[in-house]
Amino acid sequence: MVRFSTSTSFGLVRRLAAAGQGSPSIYLLISETADVGTIQADIAAEVQVQLGVNLRSMAASEVPAERLDEAFRADNASLVVLFTLDRWAPDLIDWVDCNIVLVTRGGPVLLLTDHQLAERMLTAAPNLRNRLADVLEIRPDVGFGGARA
């Protein structure tokens, strides 16, 4: 797979802040599977601190295809959505690809997955691929001492 620019949650949320909270953007975040939980927590903390809003976080395994419209519905409390693709879900990918405008109506959407699923998603969803603001390899934030935060 192609290597993309690398970022941390801090850098990603700085981009979101610069673009504006109402910006209808989609970021594909590629992570090592073992780091997903840490990255989810890092993003939630950075969104709260830097943007002052809550992060709406969900996983593909938790949202049935018939409830995707509800999952991406805009609300005032959560202006950033983090959707973790923790398994291959062709119905979900097809829905997102066909409803790309609905996905971003509430603000930025962050799609977090591993390398293998990212490659499958990029191949299967041409509309999504064309609407991505960026594809980033995301790493856990590292503290000042060099150890993982």
Residue 40 belongs to what H/E stretch? helix 36-46
Cβ-contact 39, 140 below 8 angstroms: yes
Res. 54: pLDDT tops 90: no
Q: pLDDT class for 78, splitting at 50, 70, 90?
A: low
pTM of the model: 0.88
CATH C-level class of 5-136: alpha beta
